[in-house]
């Protein structure tokens, strides 16, 4: 699909460090200190697992590190995002005023663009629009939450997969941001993405789930993939609470064993 698809030559500043801290309590030690700068990561999970909260914390960590960010919500309005963040004690208006954070409602724009006939033209227009905002505030972090609406109406899965491949490549080559895309998966499906290709194109996958044990429900987080990064496949339990957002508590197996032991003592 590269034929006919051109943007200005990508210009990447020299990275301050190889890794970008996420700011999510307990996560960075599990991924060697953070995400690789300039790469794209998938946060996948069923509804209610905190994908948006994790993504916003990633952007707010960037603000504290002097790295502006762009947030593109498709399931919420700009004001709805700001109001929701306040419930966690996060004031988004302040970094917005300082051009350290930009929240975009691009749904009308994308709805029009995806009607284009040629895939290369769609990718060019979308990435061009993103680049305009990224350049205006010198953004280093980008979140698309969720990525599915960018695909428009899926009538050909093969076309969609090629489109996602081209989109991710263009984002990394021409925007230079460390990017998180989120994907909502059906409850209990065990899948990692909606279209079955996002997980192969991203540099890492953070899977959020809800599991039940002994009449209790737990939110769990698992690093399913993290390219060029030491990690493990252990599942961890996490909570969502103000003002931290997502907070990793500990390994799932230890918490389950503790419940079993306490249950045995009680009986």
Residue environment code for 27-62, b if the CB has 16+ CB neighbours within 10 A, otherwise e? bbebbeebbbbbbbbbbbbbeebbbbbbbbbbbbbb
The pLDDT, as a whole number, for residue 136 is 98
Contact 41, 179 (CB under 8 A): yes
The CATH number of 19-266 is: 3.40.50.300
What is the per-residue pLDDT across 156-177, written as a single tens digit (0 to 9) for each? 778 777 888 888 899 999 999 9
The pLDDT of residue 3 is above 50: no
Diameter of the chain by CA atoms? 71
Instruction: Determine the distance from the C-alpha atom of residue 222 to the mean position of all C-alpha atoms in its chain, rounded to a whole number.
Output: 14
The pLDDT of residue 249 is above 80: yes
Report the pLDDT averaged over residues 42-54.
Answer: 95
The pLDDT of residue 14 is above 90: no
Contact 51, 43 (CB under 8 A): yes
The pLDDT, as a whole number, for residue 99 is 98
> Could you state, in order of their start, the residue ranges of all structural domains in the chain?
19-266
Distance CA 94, CA 74 (A): 22
Residue 251: band (very low, low, confident or very high) from pLDDT cuts 50, 70, 90: very high
Dihedral sign of CA atoms 200, 205, 210, 213 in order: positive
- In eight-state DSSP terms, residue 203 is S
């Amino acid at each position: 699909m590269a034929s006919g698809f051109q943007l200005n030559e990508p210009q990447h500043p020299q990275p301050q460090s190889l890794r970008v801290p996420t700011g999510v309590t307990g996560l960075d030690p599990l991924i060697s200190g953070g995400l690789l700068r300039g790469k794209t990561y998938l946060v996948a999970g069923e509804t209610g697992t905190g994908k948006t909260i994790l993504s916003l914390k990633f952007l707010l960590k960037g603000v504290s590190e002097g790295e502006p960010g762009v947030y593109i919500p498709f399931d919420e309005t700009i004001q709805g995002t700001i109001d929701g963040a306040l419930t966690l004690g996060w004031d988004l208006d302040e970094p917005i005023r300082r051009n350290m954070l930009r929240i975009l409602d691009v749904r009308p724009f994308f709805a029009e663009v995806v009607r284009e006939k040629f895939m290369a033209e769609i990718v060019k227009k979308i990435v061009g629009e993103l680049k305009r905002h990224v350049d205006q505030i010198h953004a280093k972090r980008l979140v698309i939450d969720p990525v599915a609406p960018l695909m428009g109406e899926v009538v050909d899965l093969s076309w969609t997969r090629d489109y996602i491949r081209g989109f991710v490549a263009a984002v990394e080559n021409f925007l230079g941001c460390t990017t998180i895309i989120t994907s909502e998966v059906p409850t209990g499906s065990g899948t990692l993405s909606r279209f079955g290709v996002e997980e192969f194109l991203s540099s890492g996958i953070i899977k959020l789930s809800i599991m039940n044990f002994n009449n209790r429900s737990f939110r769990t987080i698992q690093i399913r993939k993290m390219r060029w990064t030491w990690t493990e496949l252990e599942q961890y339990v996490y909570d969502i609470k103000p003002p931290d957002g997502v907070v990793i508590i500990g390994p799932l197996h230890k918490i389950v064993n503790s419940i079993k032991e306490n249950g045995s003592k009680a009986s």
